[in-house]
Amino acid sequence: MSDWTLTRTFRSTSGEVRWDSLGDPGRDPVVLLHGTPFSSYVWRAVARALSRRHHVFVWDMPGYGTSEKSAGQDVSLAAQGRVFTELLAHWDLDQPRVVAHDFGGAVSLRAHLLHGARYHSLTLVDPVALAPWGTPFFRLVGEHSEVFDRLPPALHRALVREYVSSASSPGLHPVVHDRLVEPWLGDTGQAAFYRQIAQADQRHTDEVQDRYGEIAIPVLVCWGEDDTWIPADKGRELVTRIPGARLELIAGAGHLVQEDAPTELIEVLLG
């Protein structure tokens, strides 16, 4: 579970991005986008399974995981959409299959609708896509990020651990829990944690929400039935806005479907 390292680097307009690929380069490409406050690590089981049939690309967004975290860095949804478009060009991918979770869903939608990124298909897993979004905790921190940033390290660690654990319905394995929390610790990690929340602005989904009817590629929406961060009703609403989209509910899974029900999610994706 701890064996996950991104070995390649791309210099984006929002800082250094760590990325990697799995599988035969001659196969159809799939790109996986993580959400917040996570990293590509949550995709490890899915990426390895998909790599048996596809060339799979994974990356940590600027400000997340092992990618650059720096003062003054733009890690907003707007910036991430631009960076994703830059990465697709860097990888020379014209129409990959795209699978995006949470915040990554908004990134993939913005890249497609605002920056002309072309996909073969799009799978959205418990995405941030429809207003209003953000848990009460997320909104509270966003409104007072400068206060939370001054928390003593032990209190910050406890806060992040509790927040991350709430994304899972059955509960996270201790090794996984530690791995998801670790990037947000220390002076650099703590500042980055509150920076990304402070820059999470709903206007970045408001800009594209009314354009979902323009999407003309196959779209699958997957949702954990027990998601307490973004309820499954948002998935039901989302598929009514995207022509031809269909919804797959995954029983026993919370917001972190990749951790709660990886086998079920992999079966849906391969199907």
* pLDDT per residue as tens digits for the range 62-115: 999 999 999 999 999 999 999 999 999 999 999 999 999 999 999 999 999 999
**Which pLDDT belongs to residue 64?**
98
Please choose, from the candidates 31, 34, 51, the residue with its C-alpha nearest in 3D space to the C-alpha of residue 43. 34
**Cβ atoms < 10 Å from Cβ of 213:** 10
**Which pLDDT belongs to residue 134?**
85
- Residue 59 dihedral angles phi and psi, to the nearest 5°: -155, 155
Q: For residue 134, what is the DSSP state?
A: S
Task: Give the DSSP per-residue string, 221-246.
Answer: EEEETT-SSS-HHHHHHHHHHSTT-E
Pairing mode, strands 29-33 and 97-101 = parallel
Reported pTM: 0.97
Q: How far apart are CA 159 and CA 112, in angstroms?
A: 34
Instruction: Please enumerate in sequence order all residues whose Cβ is within 8 A of that of 111, keeping only pairs 6 or more positions apart, or say none.
Output: 81, 82, 84, 85, 88, 117
**Which pLDDT belongs to residue 142?**
87
**Which pLDDT belongs to residue 2?**
59
**Distance of alpha carbon 96 from the chain centroid:** 17
Name the stretches of the chain with pLDDT < 70. Answer: 1-2
Alpha helices in the chain, H assignment, sequence order: 44-50, 77-91, 103-114, 136-143, 145-148, 153-165, 174-181, 186-198, 203-209, 232-241, 257-260, 262-270
CA angle, 240 then 242 then 246, to 5°: 70
Identity of residue 269: L
Q: Is 237 exposed, middle or buried (0-12, 13-18, 19+ CB in 10 A)?
A: middle
Please choose, from the candidates 258, 35, 234, 18, the residue with its C-alpha nearest in 3D space to the C-alpha of residue 138. 35
CB 104 within 8 A of CB 34: yes
**Cβ atoms < 10 Å from Cβ of 55:** 20
Identity of residue 31: V
Instruction: Please enumerate in sequence order all residues whose Cβ is within 8 A of that of 188, keeping only pairs 6 or more positions apart, or say none.
Output: 69
CB 119 within 8 A of CB 99: no
**Which pLDDT belongs to residue 196?**
95
